[in-house]
Amino acid sequence: MNPSQLFNSFLEEGQILTDKALEQRYHHIWHMDEPLKALCVLLPKNTEQVSKIMKVCYQNDLPVVTHGGLTNLVGSTETIGNEVVISTERLNRIEEIDKASRTITVQSGVILENIHNATEEEGLLFPLNFGARGSAQIGGIVSTNAGGLRVLKYGMTRQLVLGLEAVTVEGTVISSMKKIIKDNSAYDLKQLFIGSEGTLGIITKVILKLEELPKSRNAAFIGFDNYDAVVTFLKYCDSKLAGKLSGFELIWKNSYVQMTSVNESVRPPLPYDYNYYVLIESLGGNQFNDQNEFQNLLEQALEEELILDAVMANSQSDVEWFFRIREDVNNLVDFMEHDQHFDISLPIPYIGSYIEERYNSLRKIKGVNQVYAFGHVADGNIHFMVGKSNLSTELKKRIDHCIYDGLQKIGGSVSAEHGIGLHKKDYLHLCRNEEEINLMRLLKTTMDPKGLLNPRKIL
């Protein structure tokens, strides 16, 4: 089959990539040197074209994989060669910023950073933010229900999507493009598409909720000796800072040491005397008042011996320095032969002991060279970066099992933010039971009876 013939009645030549052109394409930003295996890559510009593509694929039983910014961390954009790839990169129009409704309407291929820039110009904030902001597209972000650094204050993607338009496997356009905050008119269909990693439909547009741009930003690094004190201080901050607490990131000592000893731009704000380091951030409406309040909170916490040590950012460049420490995982990864990363979710009270146990057992595994833990502790979300000496499947699985196997018992999840994709499929049963998985399969076969949408992923 020559796929061009199927699509060239409604797509221009430049919108259909095949053969040689595929060599310039890839399935992930970290694998740019591996040419893409696919029948073709299609570059639709609007919803109508996506709908037509899906009609053709449905009629011809062609599997479809959607490519957004290709920054996912679970293999969910991988292909084997028999697929039509729909790339959303030309669905890149910002359609409207409505200042009074505080919404932005975008096509699904708009890059996160472009949304930030456009909204900030209008004095508004789209709060979702994470390292891949320069590449990740809103369609991919919604399809993975991405999280990031400010979930504590603003929620995950699911909470920020007001309206959504998606195309079903049969090519039907489901348009729920409303700007309203509350809508209890029957089933909330957009929930089906959010977080389903392209397996139930293709998102073509969204309306996002915006917030007022904060007028103040304060941050501090804080030292603790034991995990329980971290949890007590989290409650303390949450209560004192009310709705302003926007970040509460925990870094285990050895991670902090590594993160702050690599180069000048990430020197340590606090000495290496503590077992746990917390980076807190607050966003508010008045820099002068909020800074005072923040400082008083820290002083009082020191006085009450809730914390052992604290250093507050004195300027915005200090704030950026603090966040660079937490955000730049290259300072960990660059020193690893090979790396394996994790994104687990667990109830907050268990985190201290669970992570300590993992540290101990991981370090006993032959081939494991480094173990670093850190994460969004206020969301119960911890990341592990494990450095190892080889790429054998056996070693990989031993590490996986070490981190995942205890989660079931404590009601955790193998994926807090990143999704399941291909890489976590084998572990899904550790956090979802048989009845849940059966119901997921029922949804999948209902929405995609031929199994054409992102085959092999998730289930």
Ligand X SMILES: Cc1cc2nc3c(=O)[nH]c(=O)nc-3n(C[C@H](O)[C@H](O)[C@H](O)COP(=O)(O)OP(=O)(O)OC[C@H]3O[C@@H](n4cnc5c(N)ncnc54)[C@H](O)[C@@H]3O)c2cc1C
* Contacts to ligand X from residues 45-74, by CB under 6 A: 65-73
CA atoms within 13 A of residue 438's CA, in its CB half-sphere: 3
State yes or no: residue 195 binds a copy of itself (CB under 8 A): yes
Q: Which does 345 bind (CB under 5 to 8 A by kind): a copy of itself, ligand X, none?
A: a copy of itself
Binding mask 131-160 for a copy of itself (x = CB under 8 A): -------------xx-x---x-x-xx-xx-
Q: State which amino acid sits at residue 381.
A: N
User: How many residues in the shown chain lie near a copy of itself by CB under 8 A?
Assistant: 94
**81-100 binders of a copy of itself (CB under 8 A):** 98, 100
Please report whether residue 143 would count as binding ligand X according to CB under 6 A.
Answer: yes
Q: How many CB atoms lie within 10 A of CB 110?
A: 26
85 versus 351: smaller Cβ distance to a copy of itself: 351
> Which residue among 47, 49, 51, 77 contacts ligand X (CB under 6 A)?
77
Are 341 and 393 contacting, i.e. CB atoms less than 8 angstroms apart? Answer: no
- Whichever of 266 and 430 has its CB closer to a copy of itself, that residue is 430
Q: Choose, by CB under 6 A, the member of 137, 168, 275, 345 that binds ligand X.
A: 137
Nearest to 30 by CA among 3, 70, 65, 63: 70
- Out of 5, 33, 61, 187, which residue is the one contacting a copy of itself (CB under 8 A)? 187
Kindly tell me which residue out of 73, 346, 362, 399 binds a copy of itself, with binding defined by CB under 8 A. 346
> Nearest-CA neighbor of 248 among 380, 157, 83, 114?
380
Q: Looking at beta carbons only, is 92 or 101 nearer to a copy of itself?
A: 101
Rounded to an integer, what distance in angstroms lies between the CA atom of residue 239 and that of residue 431? 31
3-state secondary structure of 208: strand
Least Å from the CB of residue 151 to ligand X: 9
213 in Cβ contact with 118 (< 8 Å) = no
Enumerate the β-bridge partners of residue 66.
86
H-assigned helices in 206-315? 227-240, 253-259, 287-303
φ/ψ of 207, rounded to 5, equals -110, 125
Would you tell me which residues interact with ligand X (CB under 6 A)?
Answer: 65-73, 76-77, 88, 108, 130-132, 136-137, 139-141, 143-144, 146-148, 197-198, 202-203, 417-418, 454
